Amino acid sequence: MKRATFIFICIVFNAILAFAAVHSHWDHIPAKDHDRANPVAGQPEANAAGALVYGDHCAQCHGADARGDGRKHPSLRSDNLRKASDGDIEWFLRQGDLAHGMPSWASLPAEQRWQLVTYLKSLQ
């Protein structure tokens, strides 16, 4: 009986881990955030500022060319980002993905997050 309980707990634990691994934050973005418009979309000045914000905060992990390191730090020229709306990316920056190593950038002013979104979109 004890062994069966142990196996059951292991299965549940692994299922939770697998669920967490498969279901990234991208699957849980609220509709109002998904639909949020980027106030600086397409502005060259915002793109240039976003590139500098990227250099300050993101390049250390994702690389100067945003292609990641092929291991822990993913490329930011990806299908996920191509398909994501500006609102999705801003939400993801604000929330981070703490369980998978991505810090939250909620303390960065919203204006800078939108500038960063503009730059990331320009890379796709």
Partner 1 sequence: MSISSIKRAFGGVLFLACCLPALHTARAQEKPYFVTYSYDLEEPGNLDIETKTALARPDGSTRYGASALELEYGVLAWWTSELYLDGQATAQDSTVFTGFRLENRIRPLMHDHIINPALYVEYESISGADKTLLEVVGHDGQSDLSELNGESRKEHEHEAELKLILTSNVKSWNISENFIAEKNLGHSPWEFGYAVGVARPLRTAAAGRPCTFCANRWIAGVEAYGGLGDTAALTLGETSHYIAPLIGWEAPKGLRLSFSPGFGLTSTSLNRVYRIGVAYEFSQIGNWFRHAGGTQ
Residues in touch with partner 1 (CB under 8 A):
45-46, 48-50, 52-53, 56-57, 60-61, 94-112, 115
Q: Which is nearer to partner 1, 53 or 81 (CB)?
A: 53
Q: Closest approach of Cβ 78 to partner 1, in Å?
A: 19
C-alpha to C-alpha distances, 101 to 8, 67, 95, 96, 120, nearest whole angstrom: 29, 17, 12, 8, 19
Q: Closest approach of Cβ 82 to partner 1, in Å?
A: 24
Q: Quick check: 77 and 67 in contact, CB under 8 A?
A: yes
Q: Which is nearer to partner 1, 2 or 70 (CB)?
A: 70
Q: Closest approach of Cβ 72 to partner 1, in Å?
A: 9
Q: Which is nearer to partner 1, 8 or 103 (CB)?
A: 103
Q: Closest approach of Cβ 76 to partner 1, in Å?
A: 16
CA atoms of 124 and 119, how far apart (whole Å): 9
* Sheet strands (E) in the chain: none
Bridge partners of 97, per DSSP, are 102
* Nearest C-alpha neighbor of 93 from the set 35, 33, 3: 33
Q: Which is nearer to partner 1, 34 or 82 (CB)?
A: 34
